[in-house]
Structure 1
Amino acid sequence: MPAAPILVIKLGALGDIVLATGPFAAIRAHHPDASITLLTTKPYAAWLGSAPYFDDIWIDPRPGALDVVGWFSLHQRLRGGGFGRVYDLQTSGRSSRYFWLMRPNAPDWSGIAPGCSHPDTDPNRNHLHTVERQAGQLRAAGIAEVPPPTLDWCDADLTRFTLPARFALLVPGGSAHRPEKRWPALAYAALARRLLERGITPLLIGTGTEARVLAEIDAQAPGVVSLLGQTDFPSLCALAHRAELAVGNDTGPMHLIATAGCRSVVLFSGASDPALTAPRGRAVTVLREARLEDLSVDRVMEGVG
Structure 2
Amino acid sequence: MNESVKRLLVIGPSWVGDMVMAQSLFITLKQRYPGATLGVVAPAWSQPIIARMPEVDEVLPLPVGHGEFGLKTRRDLAKQLKGRFDCAIVLPRSWKAALVPFLARIPERIGFLGEQRYGLLNERRKLDKQVLDQTVKRFVALGLPANEAAEGQFVIPSPRLEIDRDNLVNLRLQHALSSRPAIGLMPGAEYGPAKQWPLAYFHALAKRLVDDGFEVRIFGGPKDHVAGQEIVHGLSQAHNLCGKTALADVVDLLADCRQVVTNDSGLMHVAASVGVRVQAIYGSSSPAYTPPLTSNAHIHYLALECSPCFKRDCPLGHTNCLKQIDVERVYQAIWQKHDAPSVGDG
TMscore range, shorter length: 0.7 to 0.9
Cα 1:298–1:143 shift into 2, 3 Å: same
8 Å contact kept, 1:110–1:141:
no
Counterpart for residue 30 of structure 1: 32
SS at match of 2:276: coil
Measured at CA, do residues 152 and 179 of structure 1 come closer, stay the same or move farther in structure 2, by a change above 3 Å?
Answer: closer
Is the CA contact (8 Å cut-off) linking 2:210 and 2:236 kept in structure 1? no
2:185 corresponds to = 170
CA gap 1:68/1:196 in 2 versus in 1, 3 angstroms: closer
Instruction: Please report the TM-score for the alignment, with normalisation by the length of structure 1.
Output: 0.86
2:124 equivalent to 1:114 = no
In 2, Cα distance between equivalents of 1:38 and 1:302: 41
* Structure 1 residue 168: Cα displacement: 0.4
Q: For structure 1, list consecutive stretches of 5 or more residues without a partner in the other structure.
A: none
Match of 2:343 in 1: none
Root-mean-square deviation (CA, aligned residues, Å) is 2.7
Deviation at 1:221, TM superposition (A): 3.5
Q: Aligned partners of 2:18, 2:219: CA distance in 1, in Å?
A: 19
Alignment of 1:221-232 (within 5 A): 221-232=235-246
Residue equivalent to 1:216: 230
1:141 Cα deviation from its structure 2 partner = 5.1
Structure 2, unpaired ranges of 5+:
308-318, 337-346
* SS of aligned partner of 2:243: coil
CA 1:203/1:285 → structure 2, altered by over 3 Å: closer, same or farther? same
Distance in 1, Cα, partners of 2:161 & 2:49: 13
What is the number of residues matched between the two proteins?
298
The structure 2 residue matched to 1:205, chosen from 189, 199, 219, is 219
1:273 maps onto 2:278 in alignment: no
1:114 counterpart letter in structure 2: Y
Q: What is the CA distance between 1:127 and its match in structure 2?
A: 6.0
The CA deviation at 1:94 is: 2.4
Q: CA deviation at 1:142?
A: 8.1
Describe the shift of the 1:234–1:70 C-alpha distance in structure 2 as closer, same or farther (beyond 3 A): closer
Instruction: Report the equivalent of 2:168.
Output: 158
Deviation per CA, 1:68-105: give whole Å up to 9, x if none. 54443244234x14321112223333213345434xx5
Distance 1:280 1:4, change over 3 A: closer
Q: Is the 8 A contact 1:25 1:146 kept in 2?
A: no
Q: Deviations over 1:117-168 (max 9, x none)?
A: 4433242269611122223322235888654232242334222313333110
Contact 1:84/1:107, CA 8 A, preserved across alignment = yes
Paired position in structure 2 for 1:185 = 199
Taking a change above 3 Å as real, the CA distance of residues 263 and 42 of structure 1, as seen in their structure-2 partners, is same
Q: Which has the higher helix share?
A: 1
- 1:13-162 aligned at under 5 Å gives the runs 13-62=15-64, 64-65=68-69, 69-78=72-81, 80-102=82-104, 106-112=106-112, 113-114=117-118, 116-124=121-129, 128-140=133-145, 146-156=155-165, 157-160=167-170, 161=172, 162=177
Deviates more, 1:19-28 or 1:159-168: 159-168
Query: Does the CA contact (< 8 Å) of 2:75 and 2:100 recur in 1?
Result: no
AA at the equivalent of 1:200 = F
User: Matches of 1:69 and 1:240 in 2, distance apart?
Assistant: 38
Work out the percentage of aligned pairs sharing the same amino acid: 23
Q: Which residue of 1 aligns with 2:257?
A: 243
- Partner in structure 2 of residue 295 of structure 1: 325
